[in-house]
Copies of this chain bind each other. A is one copy, B any other.
Amino acid sequence: MQELLEYLTLKQPQINATLAAETAQLNALVQPVVSHVLTAGGKRLRPLLTLLTAATLGYTDDDIYPLACSVELLHSATLMHDDIIDDAELRRGKPAAHTQFGNTKTVLAGDVLLAQANLVVARYNDTRLTQCIAEAIVKTATGEIEEIEYLRSISHSPETYIDIIKGKTAFLLQASCIMGAVKAGGSEEQIAAASDFGMNLGIAFQIVDDALDFAVSTKSIGKPVAGDLREGKLTPPLFMYLNTLDGTKRRDFVTKFEAGTFSEEEVCFVAEQIRELGLDNATRELADTYLDKAQQALEILPACPEREILLQTLDYVKSRSA
């Protein structure tokens, strides 16, 4: 992953400068809320994907930076609204925006940011781009509603889980890749390949995230361990764990999962069991099937150093430990 890390180091300053420039255009009252979220870290994966997809198709002009950052603006907007919805206390290890600025300002600043993302893309004068970003928002917000609909449900299928995480995560990564390919003037086949790559990378990214929820300490990811179990989200580790239970144990688990009545000790016990049974690693193997699909999609794009770096993003997702 050497080249990916170098590329990241090389591009991050201009990405951050672009995000700061976009924020500076907003009303002074909105800026602190937006800055709070945008400067909380994050690896700028989404902008990088746009830059890399475009560069793989031969487009490296600097005018792509605002486009690349539009999805990061959008992503930050969804994080702001998510935190209110989840009533989260922390985001990336920092206090969530709403705990500092209140729900009202945070909802509205999220709306501003969401609209600003559209505005940034509109400046490119290409309706394929504006459609792409607007569709990504519709799908992302819809996916989040789906997730909530299936909270504390154990009866939905693994396919429904995949639909949910497409919404939560994959559509924005897909949009990042599509926009890079469109801006680079890619052929329809190349745009479709970029789209497939982003979608499968995004699904894998979220599956690994769901594995990590049981694998690491609060300190390293900035949120409590086994949050999905506490919130009643049936992710692959829990799905697999449920399949190891039968009889009374299963009924007891289902009852508490549906009612949200696990004690702190029970949550820790399940998390330990998942690790001991290797279900977090089995979840990572599930992610691998999507990483393979992403790799296949990549082969349709021209061979070049940037394509190699895109390939390394798959390794990054695969080996992510926080």
Contacts and interface: CB of A to CB of B under 8 A. Distances in A.
Interface string A125-160: 111001101110110011011101100000000000
A119 B141 contact: no
The main secondary structure of chain A at its interface with chain B is helix
Interface stretch (A22-30, A55-63, A197-205): A22-30
A103 interface: yes
A148 B115 contact: no
B104 A119 contact: no
Give how many copies assemble into the complex. 2
Nearest to A112: B141
B138 A115 contact: yes
Interface residues of A, number: 43
Given A27-B145, A135-B119, A85 B108 contact: yes
A114 interface: yes
Nearest to A135: B119
Contact of A114 (B84, B115, B131): B115
B142 A26 contact: yes
A108 B81 contact: yes
B145 A122 contact: no
Contacts of A130: 118, 121-122, 127, 130
A111 interface: yes
A271 interface: no
B104 A107 contact: no
Contacts of A36: none
Contacts of A122: 127, 130-131, 134
A141 B85 contact: no
A107 B81 CA distance: 7
A116 interface: yes
Contact of A145 (B108, B115, B125, B144): B108
B123 A138 contact: no
A286 to B, nearest CB: 25
Nearest to A116: B138
A128 to B, nearest CB: 9
A44 interface: no
A105 interface: yes
Contacts of A115: 114, 134-135, 137-138, 141
A109 interface: yes
A156 B93 CA distance: 38
Interface in A63-108: 78, 81, 84-85, 103-105, 107-108
Nearest to A117: B134
Contacts of A145: 27, 29-30, 105, 108-109, 112
Interface of A: 26-27, 29-30, 78, 81, 84-85, 103-105, 107-112, 114-116, 118-119, 121-127, 130-131, 133-135, 137-138, 141-142, 144-146, 148-149
